[in-house]
């Protein structure tokens, strides 16, 4: 598998893990230092940062995830051991623009370390 394919697979697993509330899949693809960073999260003002533990807890509790989304990878910028992926997602309720930073971890697996997202409710 090429580096690009490995990165695409990590992103796909991240999205599918969220869509299916599969915390085991998410735990495998998220770096231990994973963070979600959102500006204007769920109608709040300012920046919200959620760590891996809280993110997985929110998935388990049904606060996040559980809705299938269409995914379109717009770009992948790979620099050997780090990468940036821009994607667009659409669920029945929301539109998402998501910038994901990945690192090639010590186990030689690509892991998502940051998810910077904008979520807009469908009108």
Report how many domains make up the chain. Answer: 1
72-101 pLDDT, tens digit each: 999 999 999 999 999 999 998 888 899 999
CATH code at 72?
Answer: 3.10.450.50
The whole domain housing 71 covers 3-121
pLDDT at 9 over 80: yes
Task: Please give, one letter per residue, the 3-state secondary structure of 82-112.
Answer: EEEEEEEEECCCEEEEEEEEEEECCCCCEEE
What's the pLDDT at 41?
67
């Amino acid at each position: 598998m090429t580096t690009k394919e490995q990165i695409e697979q990590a992103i796909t697993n991240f999205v599918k893990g969220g869509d299916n509330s599969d915390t085991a899949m998410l735990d495998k693809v998220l770096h231990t230092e994973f963070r979600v960073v959102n500006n204007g999260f769920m109608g709040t003002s300012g920046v919200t940062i959620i760590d891996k533990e809280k993110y997985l807890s929110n998935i388990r509790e049904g606060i996040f995830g559980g809705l299938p989304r269409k995914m379109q990878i717009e770009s992948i910028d790979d620099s050997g051991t780090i990468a940036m992926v821009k994607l667009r997602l659409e669920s029945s309720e929301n539109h998402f623009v998501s910038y994901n930073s990945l690192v090639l971890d010590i186990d030689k697996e690509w892991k998502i370390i940051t998810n910077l997202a904008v979520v807009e409710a469908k009108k």
